[in-house]
Amino acid sequence: MTNKPLTEPQKKQSDSIVDTVLSGQHGKHSFQTVYTYIHTRIQRGDWQAHAKLPSVRQLAEDTGMHRLTIFKAYQHLKDDGHVYARDKSGYYVQPPTLQVLTNEAELGLPLFQGNLGDLHRIQVKYQFSQALITPNLLPNHYFAEYVKQVFDLYPKLLGTYAPAQGDLELREMLQHYFTDTSQFHVHADEILITTGAQQAISLIAEVWIRPGDHVLIESPAYASALDVFQQKGARLVPMTINANGYDLAQIEQAMKQYKPRFFYLNPTFHNPTGICISAEQRKQLVDLAAQYHCLLIEDDTCQDIYFGQKPPLPLFAYDTEGYTIYIRSFSKYVSPGLRIACIVARPEWFTSLLAAKSLADGGTPLLNQKVFLHYFTSTRLQQHIEKLRIALRIRFEMMDEELSSTGWYYEPPQGGFNLWVRLPDHLSVPELLARCLKQSISFVPGSLFDHHESSKQYIRLCFSFASEQEIRTGIQQLVAIAKDMESNSSE
C-alpha cells in the first residue's frame, strides 16, 4: 500500500487535523473545528460506516487541544447521530439508516435515533415520555417540615453509617407493612434496603447472571432493566404480555428449554402496557417457577397506584415455595429525591444479595432511610396517596377523552402512569415522534421497549408528569399532527 503513488482522493484522506485546526477558528469554539473536521471526513467517505475514529488522546496530542475539547466534539457528533461510542474502545462512524435517508429528505427534520435515556434528556413542553409523577403532585412543603422533625428525633443522624442491609427500624416497619397490605409473612432479616429499584435490579443481575445465561423477560418490557441484563451478558428470551396476561404455555416451554436464571417481570400495572395480571395467572406462575426451579424477579412499583379496585396480591404472597424475589420501589410516588426501594427474598437467596450490596456501596445512606421511615408511616402521606390516585385517574381520563376521536386502540389501564397506544399501520411512529419533538411534545416509541417488530406500531403516553392543561393541549396537538400525516399520505 505505502509504495503506491498517491492519487488525488487518497491524498485528501491524509488531510491533517493539525492543518484544519491551525487554519480554523481556534479559541472559544474550538470543539466546533474538531466537530467539522470529523463530520466532513465522514460525509465525504474518508471514514466508512463502523470505522474506528481517532482516539480522544490521539487527537488531543496531534492538535495540542485539551482532551475535553475533543471529547465535547465527539459528544456532539454522537448526539447528532454521526458517531457512536463503544465502551473502552472509542468512537466509530454511525452508519446512516435507511429511515434517515428517506425520511430526513422527505420531512426536512431528523429522526430520533437514541435510547430511552437520550429521549428523556430532550427538554419539551408537553412531557409524555417520562413515567414520573410531577413534583407538583407530591406534598413537598409537608415533606420539608417532616424532615426537620426527623432531625429532632435523631440528632446524630448525619454522623452515622447505616448497616449494609439497611436500617433495622425501617426493615421492621416494612415487615409489618407488607403483612398488613400484601399478606406477606416476611421477616425484617429477609428485607434489603436499596437505592431505588435500579440498584435492586443491578444487584440481582450481579448475583445471578453470568455471560451466556438465559433470562426470561416480558415483551414489551422496562428498558432500563434489559440494559442491565444485557450488560452482564444475558441472553434475553421475550415472553408475551397482552390484555390476556401471560401465555403460560410459552413460559413453561421456555423454562423447560432454556433453564433460565430467572424471569424478570412487572405483573402489576406493567410498564409500558399498564396490564395487571390476574390472581389466577399469578398462582399458576409461582407453581411453574417451583416446578422448573426458575426464580421470579417481581418488580413492583405501582402496587399503590390503582384507580379503582386494589390489584391482586403480589406473586410473592402466593409463593409458598420461595422462588419469588420481590422488588418494591417507593421512589416514584413517595419521594424520587430519597430513592428508597427494597428487595424481599428468602434466606437461601438473601446472603448473596447482601454480599453484593456490601460491595456495591456498603449501604444506602441512613438519612434517606430515616426520613422515609417516618414520612411513609405518617397519616398525612397515606392521605396524600389517596389524593394522588384520584389526581392520576383524572389525568388518565383527560388523555382518554382527548384521544377518543382517533379510534386508536388501547386497553384503559386500571392503575400506573401510562397509556400503551397502538397506532394505525399506515402511521409511521418515527415520523410522528420527529414531528412531535419539533413541536415540543415527547412520547416513547414502542420499539424502545422491545427488540422485536411487534411493538413498533405502539407508543407509550405517560399521563403522570404533564399538568392537566398540558395534557389537553399537548394531546390535541399530537392528534392534529397525526391527522395531518394521515391526510397527506392519503392524498
Give, as ranges, the residues between 352 and 371 that touch a copy of itself (CB under 8 A). Answer: 352, 355, 358-368, 371
Q: Are strands 262-265 and 214-219 parallel, antiparallel or unpaired?
A: parallel
Q: Does 422 bind a copy of itself (CB under 8 A)?
A: no
Name the minimum Å distance from CB 461 to a copy of itself: 20
SS in 3 state form for 160-202? CCCCCCCCHHHHHHHHHHHHHHHCCCCCHHHEEEEEHHHHHHH
Which parts of 127-186 interact with a copy of itself (CB under 8 A)? 132-136, 138, 140-141, 143-144, 147-148, 151-152, 155-162, 164
Comparing CB distances to a copy of itself, the nearer of 128 and 458 is 128
Name the minimum Å distance from CB 374 to a copy of itself: 13
Alpha helices in 29-167 (DSSP H): 30-43, 56-63, 67-79, 98-99, 105-107, 116-121, 140-153
Q: How far apart are CA 390 and CA 468, in angstroms?
A: 13
Comparing CB distances to a copy of itself, the nearer of 196 and 415 is 196
Classified as helix, coil or strand, 256 is helix
Q: How far apart are CA 481 and CA 434, in angstroms?
A: 11
Which stretch in 176-184, 196-204, 433-441, 455-463 sits in contact with a copy of itself by CB under 8 A?
196-204
Comparing CB distances to a copy of itself, the nearer of 348 and 453 is 348
Which parts of 7-36 interact with a copy of itself (CB under 8 A)? none
Which parts of 224-263 interact with a copy of itself (CB under 8 A)? 224, 227-228, 231
Secondary structure letter of residue 54 according to DSSP: P
Comparing CB distances to a copy of itself, the nearer of 101 and 158 is 158
The correct pick among 21, 56, 234, 251 for binding a copy of itself (CB under 8 A) is 56
216 touches 239 (CB < 8 A): yes
The mark string for 330-349 relative to a copy of itself (x by CB under 8 A, - otherwise) is: -x---xxxxx------xxx-
Q: Does 122 bind a copy of itself (CB under 8 A)?
A: no
Which parts of 437-466 interact with a copy of itself (CB under 8 A)? none
The mark string for 78-97 relative to a copy of itself (x by CB under 8 A, - otherwise) is: -------x-xx---------
Helices 279-292 and 248-258 cross at an angle (nearest 10°) of 20
* CB neighbourhood size of 426 (10 A): 10
Q: How far apart are CA 408 and CA 7, in angstroms?
A: 58
Classified as helix, coil or strand, 335 is coil
Comparing CB distances to a copy of itself, the nearer of 39 and 346 is 346
Q: How far apart are CA 122 and CA 129, in angstroms?
A: 10
Comparing CB distances to a copy of itself, the nearer of 69 and 281 is 69
Q: Does 57 bind a copy of itself (CB under 8 A)?
A: yes
Q: Does 190 bind a copy of itself (CB under 8 A)?
A: yes
Which parts of 282-341 interact with a copy of itself (CB under 8 A)? 322, 331, 335-339
341 - beta bridge partners?
194, 329
224 touches 116 (CB < 8 A): yes
